[in-house]
Chain A
Amino acid sequence: MMASVASLVQSFAFYLFAGMAVLGAVLVVAARNPVHSVLSLVLTFFSTAGLFVLLGAEFMAAVLVMVYMGAVAMLFLFVVMLLDVDFDTLRQGAADHLPMGLAVGFAILVELVVIMAGIHPGEGAAHAAAVPVSNTMAIGKVLYTQYLYPFEAASLILLVAMIGAIGLTQRVRRDIRRQKVCEQIARRRDEAVELKEVAPGQGA
């Protein structure tokens, strides 16, 4: 009886999260307002994190929420909110790109089917149960031993991309006044404040 209740709750949670993820994904493309699109994307990320928790991959779930919701989607939202673009005019040519979009979508679908066909459910679970470490530790162990070089290469690429983005967007303007932090910090009380003895009625 207990086990059936637990599995009932689990499948309920699965359909709830999966449904929300799909709904969010549909709204990303269907919403007229770009800000609503980004917020729907956030909903999809969150629901996907929920699915990771159901799979027992709580580390992946936490990282997904932190990185994708906490940083990536937040920056999307920033940009979209600050942009002042009339999105209805941008949308006018959208129908012309429909064949291309469908082709890309179909290609991804085929890839997913091929990958899924190669997975045999139950195999991974049995393997995971045999190893008595938490999945955080398991990820850490392979990331810093077996996959150390790809991992370091990926972080190096990200670093280069970051420096490139900063270098491309930074411009030094000489026509504006800037804060000179060193001078501000070096200022002392006795050169800025002076205490004066003011006689009654003599002030101002």
Chain B
Amino acid sequence: MNDILRVVHELGGGLFGFVWPGVWTVVKIAILLGIVMFCVTYLTLAERKIIGWMQIRMGPNRVGPLGLLQPLADAVKLFFKETLIPSKSEKLVFILAPALTFIPALLGWAVIPFSPELVLADINVGVLYVLAISSMGAYGILMSGWASNARYSFLGSVRSASQMISYEVSMGFTIIPVVMLAGSLNLKEIVLSQTDLWNVVPLFPMFFIYFISVVAETNRAPFDLPEAESELVSGFNTEYSAMTFGMFFMGEYANMILVSTMGSILFLGGWLPPLPFLSFIPGIFWLALKTGFLLFVFLWIRATFPRYRYDQLMRLGWKVFLPFSLLWIFLTGAALHLLGKA
């Protein structure tokens, strides 16, 4: 691996000269985004297949062997549909909104460490960066509802934005004990601090709350009130079609994968193997396995639970999760002090 990298660097340095570091960064970004987009397309298929099996159906099985080419067919369909823009809408904001939802979902990947060496930007405030970027996602949704100039869209987007703000708070508070244990905001150091014991063991309630909060923050069932089809048609994306809709769609799935990866890194030991003697298997495999498990739970929840009522959702976030995670921060601090670690 290192030999290949050296050869690539020598070749690139010869070809591009002093701009090579820039070109190399672009190449790395392109590879990362390619993998993320591949996972997004196949997550949509996995969702339909898994929920199908849970409901004793086949799921998509017409396009390609076992329906494996279905995401391709969906993509082609979305690309070639006509983009409709309502005549009374705010054109510029209407078109910007899907991009503003989609881009933050991809930006977050910049700081994710896939293994000790494999990280695009190893910055000191990785956790804060991901939180900050994910808080930007709400703008696209709020803008889309307002720009559509339609009641269902607007109600959906207002619901979504207030839901995202509320659950971001409880999500942020569940991450604080993790940061306290690691003593760093750097994602790599957070993983390395779990070498002896994964955070999920001492912080199990926080992991639980984190997972429920991210389900709510990504607007997934049973908290998918922003697009509750029984009351709001399709919520904030009612007026969107073709690729403008596609960007909301892909943004949601990219966000799901991102928060699942974050969950694996913060609580399940990231690239670390469950037992030390298993370390001959590459770390990225373990991270993928853990992320895949969390994504499966996402789909499992969707197939199992009925949708929450809006007041229940707000009550859960503000009156249950928030006080409990505040208490847990205090307990973590006390425990660290008593154990003499801080």
- Extra contacts, 5 of them, besides A9-B22, A39-B139, A74-B139 (Cβ < 8 A), are A2-B18, A5-B21, A65-B135, A77-B142, A78-B161
Judge if A134 is at the interface, Cβ distance under 8 Å.
yes
CB-contacts of B298-336 with A (<8 A): 311-312, 315
Once A2-B18, A62-B125 are accepted as A-B contacts, the answer to whether A74 and B142 lie under 8 Å apart by CB is yes
**Which of A9, A39, A63 touches B128 (beta carbons < 8 Å)?**
A63
**A–B complex contacts, Cβ < 8 Å, 11 sampled:** A39-B143, A58-B125, A59-B124, A62-B129, A66-B132, A69-B139, A70-B168, A74-B135, A74-B138, A74-B161, A77-B142
- Annotate B122-141 by CB proximity to A: 1 below 8 A, 0 otherwise: 01110011011101101100
Residues on B with beta carbons closer than 8 Å to the beta carbon of A71: 135, 165
Residues on A with beta carbons closer than 8 Å to the beta carbon of B18: 1-2, 5
Tell me, in angstroms, the Cα distance from A39 to B129 when the chains sit together.
21
Tell me, in angstroms, the Cα distance from A78 to B159 when the chains sit together.
11
Distance (whole angstroms) from the CB of B91 to the closest CB of chain A: 12
Interface residues of B (CB under 8 A from A): 18-19, 21-22, 90, 93, 123-125, 128-129, 131-133, 135-136, 138-139, 142-143, 146, 154, 158, 161-162, 165, 168, 185, 311-312, 315
Taking a contact as CB atoms under 8 Å apart, the answer to whether B315 and A136 are in contact is no
Taking a contact as CB atoms under 8 Å apart, the answer to whether A58 and B146 are in contact is no
Once A59-B125, A179-B311 are accepted as A-B contacts, the answer to whether A66 and B131 lie under 8 Å apart by CB is yes
Tell me, in angstroms, the Cα distance from A62 to B110 when the chains sit together.
14
Taking a contact as CB atoms under 8 Å apart, the answer to whether B315 and A70 are in contact is no
Taking a contact as CB atoms under 8 Å apart, the answer to whether A69 and B136 are in contact is yes
Taking a contact as CB atoms under 8 Å apart, the answer to whether B311 and A5 are in contact is no
| Residue in B123, B128, B133 with the greatest tally of chain A CB atoms within 10 Å | B128
A-B complex: 9 closest residue pairs judged by Cβ atoms: A70-B135, A62-B128, A65-B132, A66-B132, A62-B132, A134-B124, A1-B18, A58-B125, A62-B125
